[in-house]
Amino acid sequence: MSDWYRDFANSGVGGTLTKQLGLPRPAVLRRYEPGEPLLPGPAVIGSAEEGRLREQLSSVLKDAGVSVLSPVAADGSGDGEKLAAVLLDATGLTGPADLAAVHDFLAPALKRLRPSARVLVLADPPSAAPSPAEAAARQALDGLVRSIGKELRNGATANLIYVPAGAEGSIASPVRFFLSGRSAYVDGQTVTLAGADVPAGEDDDKPLAGKVAVVTGAARGIGASIARVMARDGAHVVAVDIPMAGQSLADVANEIGGTAFQLDITAADAAPRLIEHLRERHAGVDIVVHNAGITRDKLLVNMDAERWNSVMAVNLQAQLDITQALLDADGVLKAGARIVCVTSQSGISGNRGQTNYSASKAGIIGMVRAWAPTFAQRGATINAVAPGFIVTEMTAKMPFGTREVGSRLNSMQQGGLPVDVAETIAWLSQPGSAGVNGQVVRVCGQSLIGA
Ligand SMILES: NC(=O)c1ccc[n+]([C@@H]2O[C@H](COP(=O)([O-])OP(=O)(O)OC[C@H]3O[C@@H](n4cnc5c(N)ncnc54)[C@H](O)[C@@H]3O)[C@@H](O)[C@H]2O)c1
């Protein structure tokens, strides 16, 4: 599904016309292609004060073959090469006065960005600050990064990683994700890391090699895209969907060399059947992606119980029941397991006509946060991904005006693609993402709705 307006705005005549009329000019985003370098150009690394992550950041970039230039001088002098990424180690901040150094580093560097550049700030979390002044400086970065995300154009993104003391060993996988084309539609996000046992030497092309991954709702849409990306990254995918979607489910499974498993996740015996299948056919499971979801929209005053109950059953209760059953089933959930739950921007912002859907999706966020410590104890993780406006067959059927407004009201001025959601889920599923737990990552191009 092509974005006709983006293509027009990037054509010769369209480019001139949209500029003259002051219309949005959505960029063609840099998306991940296996085998391509992490970044298409050099990076700079700055540190606000005495940051403790600088050396580690340098080695992550060095391992990925990225050339690191010296920071651009405040007057803009120095090496004029365009930058593919600007990284700031802001872990040394002690109070608001230190933020001047943040400004001094970022302002000239941001003048030199290439298309689809990445701005990434790493800092200590405000919650663990020893003083209100330090908490203020750390929290200030959140507002700063979100604003930078809104100022950047040309497909560039800005994101923030909070790194508490003891979580330094967890940074490589998130840093690589936010710099890469995998995060093309992830903008203005904050992720807080935890300390974890992170395995060394991950294969960047096949990070999920040898893993068994269940993806629910895999017969079409975002779920099919998740299944394809997981398989591309090396996983054996058990694609789950309702029997009515059996043919398209089989098509997806065959295409990616996976297994099709017909299952209504709300059936009373859904969890035991899935567990039996995983135990017998795959000797357990490493990754579970709870993607299946439905909408039954109506204003609350007109909503019948069927609409309410069916949405709760598919979107929330099934995720709870299957996850609990997996935790209880001896030896099925393998060491270092990853659970990724698909929620929605509507679960964060609320949406007219979607009280049932928004409640179910907000419930997922509560569930993920509550379960994170339990999963951490098992060396596992549970996270949520919240898509914003994603271009699917469903959104293609929306009336023109509604679709255009919905898809342009974000920093990228375009809708995301199912693959953008899939890439984020695949990243959270990697062994190297062990330090990302209990997080909610929006894949919404920094949507203005609920931002
Ligand atoms: N499309 C978007 O813009 C968007 C935005 C935010 C969140 N989401 C979420 O992303 C997920 C996927 O959305 P999509 O747009 O691809 O939807 P979709 O309707 O195209 O696909 C959902 C799939 O889930 C399956 N499913 C439904 N009930 C099931 C059940 N009881 N058991 C097993 N499978 C079942 C369906 O058969 C279908 O194949 C959903 O959780 C949705 O809420 C989508």
Tell me the pLDDT of the chain (451 aa) as tens digits. 667 778 777 877 777 777 777 777 888 999 999 999 999 999 999 988 788 999 999 999 999 999 999 776 555 555 678 999 999 999 999 999 999 999 999 999 999 999 999 999 999 999 989 999 999 999 999 999 999 999 999 999 999 999 999 999 999 999 999 999 999 999 999 999 999 999 987 777 899 999 999 999 999 999 999 999 999 999 999 999 999 999 999 999 999 999 999 999 999 999 999 999 999 999 999 999 999 999 999 999 999 999 999 999 999 999 999 999 999 999 999 999 999 999 999 999 999 999 999 999 999 999 999 999 999 999 999 999 999 999 987 787 778 888 888 889 999 999 999 999 999 999 999 999 999 999 999 999 999 987 6
The Cα 181–Cα 321 span in angstroms is 34
**CB of 264 closer than 6 A to ligand 1?**
yes
Cβ-based burial of 164 (10 A; exposed 0-12, middle 13-18, buried ≥19): middle
**CB of 220 closer than 6 A to ligand 1?**
yes
Helix axes 99-109, 132-151, angle to 10 degrees: 20
143: Cβ contacts below 8 Å, ≥ 6 apart: none
Going by C-alpha positions, the residue among 133, 120, 117 that lies closest to residue 47 is: 120
Q: Which of 228, 242, 393 to mutate to test the pocket of ligand 1 (most atoms within 8 A of CB)?
A: 242
Buried b (16+ CB within 10 A) or exposed e, 97-136: ebbebbeebbebbbebbbbbbbbbbbbbbbeebeeeebbe
**CB of 216 closer than 6 A to ligand 1?**
yes
Instruction: Please tell me the distance between residue 443's alpha carbon and the centre of ligand 1 in angstroms.
Output: 15
Instruction: Please tell me the distance between residue 342's alpha carbon and the centre of ligand 1 in angstroms.
Output: 9
Enter the DSSP assignment of 166: T
Q: Which residue is it, tokens 């689809």?
A: 116
> Does the domain made of 212-443 have the CATH classification 3.40.140.10?
no
**CB of 242 closer than 6 A to ligand 1?**
yes
* Domain extent listing, the chain: 31-192, 212-443
Going by C-alpha positions, the residue among 62, 129, 120 that lies closest to residue 90 is: 120
Name the catalytic one among 5, 32, 162, 357: 357
Atom of ligand 1 lying closest to residue 392 CA: 1
Q: Helix or strand or coil: residue 317?
A: helix
- Is there a catalytic annotation at residue 357? yes
Instruction: Please tell me the distance between residue 363's alpha carbon and the centre of ligand 1 in angstroms.
Output: 16
Going by C-alpha positions, the residue among 134, 152, 54, 144 that lies closest to residue 98 is: 134
Atom of ligand 1 lying closest to residue 421 CA: 10
Instruction: Please tell me the distance between residue 340's alpha carbon and the centre of ligand 1 in angstroms.
Output: 14
Going by C-alpha positions, the residue among 150, 135, 120 that lies closest to residue 38 is: 120
Q: Helix or strand or coil: residue 217?
A: coil
**CB of 386 closer than 6 A to ligand 1?**
no
Architecture of 31-192 per CATH? 3-Layer(aba) Sandwich (3.40)
**CB of 217 closer than 6 A to ligand 1?**
yes
**CB of 292 closer than 6 A to ligand 1?**
yes
